[in-house]
Structure 1
Amino acid sequence: MVDATVIWAAAITGIVGLSGAALEAITSRRSLRAENRRAEIDRAVLRRRERQATYEAVLDAVSNWAWDSTTAASDYDVVERFSKPFNLAAIRIRLYGSDATIAATDDIQRGFAMLNRAEDSAAATAASSAIWQGVDRFVDAAREDVGPRADDELRKVDFQRGAGPRA
């Protein structure tokens, strides 16, 4: 005759073992999903920082050009000091930037093309205006892409859109 207590003890032990294994599998799956989500967030943050650095490079190049174009030394080399850094950053915008920053970069580049072809002060003024309108659009687009977020909980205040007041 078989002892029922032994059978029940074995059955309960088996059920507990299977339940433990199932619970471990569920926990492992949830942990793996959480790790994958964390890795996705880390990649998104890294991509955002890369876009931010690229946007800053464009704005730095244009800002330096604005200062250097009015107070340049006699040995100022526009190709080395502006054209190369700006165009390298503009190419990175085309790779990593938002559609809006790409469109604004197009505006800035068209403005510089107009400036290169300008034959009189009126054409140069129109080109300069086109450049700065592109810069304003670029700043707004970059801010939209990598700027403050609602969860930053920054106080709302009125400010001039774009690159701000011209000095």
Structure 2
Amino acid sequence: MRLMARFAAAVLLLDQVTKFIVVQWIGLDRIGQMAVLPPWLNLRMAWNRGINFGLFAGEDEITRWALVVMALAISAWVWHWVSRHPQGLRGQVAAGLLIGGALGNVIDRIAYGAVADFLNVSAPFWDNPFSFNVADIAIFLGAAGLVLFTGEGKSGRG
């Protein structure tokens, strides 16, 4: 449990620090985009009011708060599940990644009304229109890790 909490806290902190730098210091919300290592890595501001790729996006407050409640419920369920069914090292890390990322995006929805996405990865001859953030990476890795590593380290009790 302690490992899961540490990973969740680390992801949450890293996510919020990077968003603060990008939005408050760099002002990417005003300038829109910035080349970092073109074409491979760019900063491209996008306010995501939905979930991945803008799915279920809505401008209304009901959608915003429904997504906050959903992320909090999923985080609480994962925390509860891991505390009742202890996982191995990789399962705890995966749960921490997912919870920390989900909470990072919850903070954005509360503070900004939308999730601050800013990382854009493209390639020569392919301009990716989508942006993401540290929390999105953590959520993806955490969910994949829970699928792959659930049950590792169980004591064999039935």
TM-score by length of 1: 0.34
Higher strand proportion (structure 1 or 2): 2
In our comparison, the structure showing a higher alpha carbon Rg is: 1
TM-score (norm 2): 0.35
